[in-house]
Structures are given as structure tokens and as C-alpha cells.
Amino acid sequence: MSAREVLKAFFESYRNQDFESLKSLCTDNITYINPEGLSSNGIDEFLQLLKREFESFGVLFEPISWESSVERPSFCYFSWKRGVKFARKAALRRVETFGSAFLLKVEKKWQLVHFQQAFSGSYASLFRTREK
């Protein structure tokens, strides 16, 4: 798979909460920063943080609306912007997220080393109950 295909597979595995696929796409020392600013170091911490995220809210990714990449034979860097719908306690909120990913070619196979995403604003305001 190309680096771009690995990243697309990562998004699909994330959306499907497929931990085995996520693990196979990442290095053992992956770093991850989620939109709340929580971070993990290493595959075990990463999977634990994802489990907590999935228990807290659901995510529906929209197609990437903007992308930039730097591709070299042994590493690849992506940054993007996309729409995301977060579902929590029957509330659905749409926001735009910005993110980046760094991939390395390890034993002729692309793997994620770093992944982060963020959006402007705070989770508190995102999930605040709107008054009618």
C-alpha cells in the first residue's frame, strides 16, 4: 500500500473501531494527539486512548476537503482539513478538523508514526446542550 492508502485505511479503521487494523497500520512507538489535546505514546497507550474516545462519542468523517503532502522514499507527511460529525448522547455536531500524520517506511511497509487532529473551539462548547 502507498502512504496515502495507509492513511485512508487508518481513517476507515478508526471509523469502524477496528483495533486490529489500527494496530497493524501503526508503529509500536506511535504518538497520537486527539482533538481534546490528550496524547499517547506507544501502541498500547494509543489503543487505550482510542477505546476511551469510542466509549465517549462516535465520529463520522466526511471526505477530506484539503490536503497537502510531502512524500519521500522513506517518509511521508500529510496535513488535511475535513468535516467531522461527532455524536454524543444523541447530540450530533458538525465541525471541521485539521490534522496531520507522519508515516515511515519500515521494512518496505508504510506505517503511521504520528497522528494528530484538532479543531478550533473546545469539547465543552462542542457538546454543550443548546437551549431552545
Alpha helices, H only, the chain: 3-15, 19-25, 43-56, 123-126
CA nearest to 100, candidates 3, 1, 2: 3
All 3 cell numbers of residue 132? 431552545
Q: What distance in Å separates the CA atoms of residue 27 and residue 42, rounded to the nearest whole number?
A: 8
Question: According to the CATH classification, is domain 3-117 in 3.40.50.1100?
Answer: no
User: Residue range 58-85: average pLDDT?
Assistant: 81
pLDDT in tens, 113-129: 999 988 776 555 555 55
All 3 cell numbers of residue 89? 448522547
Instruction: Provide the CB-side half-sphere exposure for 17 (13 A, CA).
Output: 13
Taking the domains of the chain in order of start, what are their residue ranges?
3-117
- DSSP code of residue 128: P
CB 73 within 8 A of CB 42: no
Percentage with pLDDT > 70 across the chain: 79
CA nearest to 117, candidates 84, 91, 75: 84
Cα three-residue angle 18-22-25, rounded to 5 degrees: 145
pLDDT in tens, 25-35: 999 999 999 87
Strands 58-71 and 75-88 turn out to be antiparallel
pLDDT at 75 over 90: yes
pLDDT in tens, 33-57: 987 788 999 999 999 999 988 887 6
pTM here is 0.80
